[in-house]
């Protein structure tokens, strides 16, 4: 077989750590669920329960816990959104909700960083959200914990603090669409494969971050995550 050559050297493959293992998980896609907690939907001026919808982040936007994320350009309203992350370990399409957990390798905790002003400008103009949701370092993710070690969290505290002050505090049981329902819905639109990360939505309490902020969050019995926000000129 002839080895493939490239005009430019291929970039490193994005990956996430696995707790207590040397092996990592190559990230294929990052899918995010919008408005999956009723209180958060209301704080953004939306109805409580609508069919789940998704947006994507680039795989190379995933960064590890402990990363110093530069404050991104084009925004004056960068928001934190703490989320449970589902890591797909077995592929499939048209997955029934009652079988969906069999496709899960494990779980992590992520932060969906959002340029809220750009998101709202695009939303109000009927345009895609991409510039609000996709930028360098916008998808911090903790190490993954295999489901065989912790089971499938259904009612666990999810929380986030900024500079030691609690900002988001809720329970996974408050999700409008459960993890099996989210997997089932996503798999009707595209085939899920190992290495797909699904950020399952954030509870209420989202708010603005500024350079110098220290962010710490977690999902009880799953993982914690820490990042800090740097002035872009210091990156």
Q: Report the C-alpha gap between 11 and 25 in whole angstroms.
A: 16
Residue 28: φ, ψ to 5°: -95, -55
Domain 15-234: CATH architecture, name and number where available = Alpha-Beta Complex (3.90)
Task: Please give the pLDDT value at position 231.
Answer: 84
The region that residue 121 occupies, defined by phi over 0 for left and psi between -120 and 50 for alpha, beta otherwise, is alpha
> For residue range 124-139, what is the model confidence (pLDDT) as tens digits?
999 998 999 999 999 9
Cα within 13 Å of Cα(56), Cβ side: 10
pTM score of the predicted model = 0.94
Report domain extents, the chain: 15-234
Lowest mean pLDDT among 130-139, 176-185, 214-223, 226-235: 226-235
Q: Please tell me whether residue 175 adopts helix, strand or coil conformation.
A: strand
């Amino acid at each position: 077989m002839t080895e493939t050559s490239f005009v430019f050297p291929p970039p490193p493959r994005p990956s996430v750590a696995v707790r207590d293992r040397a092996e990592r998980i190559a990230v294929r896609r990052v899918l995010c669920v919008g408005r999956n907690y009723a209180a958060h939907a209301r704080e953004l001026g939306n109805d409580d329960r609508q069919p789940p919808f998704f947006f994507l982040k680039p795989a190379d936007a995933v960064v590890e816990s402990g990363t110093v994320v530069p404050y991104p350009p084009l925004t004056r309203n960068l928001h934190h959104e703490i989320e449970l992350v589902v890591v797909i370990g077995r592929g499939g399409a048209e997955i029934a909700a009652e079988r969906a957990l069999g496709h899960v390798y494990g779980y992590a905790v992520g932060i969906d960083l959002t340029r809220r002003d750009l998101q709202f400008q695009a939303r109000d103009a009927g345009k895609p959200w991409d510039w609000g949701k996709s930028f360098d370092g916008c998808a911090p993710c903790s190490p993954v914990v295999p489901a065989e070690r912790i089971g499938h969290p259904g009612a666990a505290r999810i929380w986030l603090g900024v500079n030691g002050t609690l900002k988001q505090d809720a329970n996974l049981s408050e999700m409008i669409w459960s993890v099996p329902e989210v997997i089932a819905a996503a798999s009707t639109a595209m085939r899920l494969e190992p290495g797909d990360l699904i950020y399952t939505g954030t509870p209420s309490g989202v708010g603005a971050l500024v350079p110098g902020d220290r962010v710490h969050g977690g999902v009880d019995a799953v993982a914690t995550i820490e990042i800090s926000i740097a002035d872009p000129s210091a990156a």
